[in-house]
Chain A
Amino acid sequence: GAVVSQHPSRVICKSGTSVKIECRSLDFQATTMFWYRQFPKQSLMLMATSNEGSKATYEQGVEKDKFLINHASLTLSTLTVTSAHPEDSSFYICSAASADRGNYGYTFGSGTRLTVV
């Protein structure tokens, strides 16, 4: 089955520093990847959609200069939280889709717990 690897699973960083989260599709080519944010006891909120080789599309209210997304290859997308602050502490999850699979079941990564201190 399709597997998406997300790394790191947990990260603690100091306020003002930047953190990079990687999302890799291991056994399929992900033409589209999605980044979500989830606050405790809440649902997933889509942050941005990235297509390989093009700029990401951000949802309203998401600062593109703060959450940098790069989808340089068909198997890797990265989310960089720049100048992180405590309010950025959250659970970030990526998911991947491919043209072959359509939207019949996106594959999700295992998530990254970011804590900014």
Chain B
Amino acid sequence: SQQGEEDPQALSIQEGENATMNCSYKTSINNLQWYRQNSGRGLVHLILIRSNEREKHSGRLRVTLDTSKKSSSLLITASRAADTASYFCATFSGGYQKVTFGIGTKLQVIP
């Protein structure tokens, strides 16, 4: 599997439900970040979690990090149709290391 691999690759839920996406990685990291991409658009930074953090919140977003399992999860609570997008995790190591993205989770929130 590749660094920053998300699962599921596709997720369809009803508006108001929670959406959970997972990301696994292989090497040691300094931090892990989640990004969102609307179809055909650039990426928007959502949240960053450092390697010494276990959980972080930002609005309706909750990110967890388990460095022992080399995995992270992104939870979007009370989803909205506007949350429909692809979500990528990206791992950062060292300084300006290249960012490695997973293949993403395509989330569809049905109104």
Docked-complex contact B42 and A109, CB < 8 angstroms: yes
Docked-complex contact B98 and A43, CB < 8 angstroms: no
Docked-complex contact A103 and B95, CB < 8 angstroms: yes
Docked-complex contact A104 and B48, CB < 8 angstroms: yes
Docked-complex contact A103 and B92, CB < 8 angstroms: yes
Please, which residues of chain B bring their CB within 8 A of the CB of A97? 96
Please, which residues of chain B bring their CB within 8 A of the CB of A95? 43, 99
Contact with A along B52-66 (1 / 0, CB 8 A): 000000000000000
Interface range on chain A: under 10, 10 to 19, 20 to 34, or 35 or more? 20 to 34
Q: Which residue of B lies closest to A104 (CB)?
A: B48
Please, which residues of chain A bring their CB within 8 A of the CB of B100? 46
Q: List residues of chain A with CB under 8 Å of any chain B CB.
A: 6, 32, 34, 41-44, 46, 49, 59, 91, 93, 95, 97, 102-111, 113
For the complex of A and B, 6 pairs with smallest distance between CB atoms: A110-B42, A108-B43, A43-B103, A108-B42, A111-B42, A105-B45
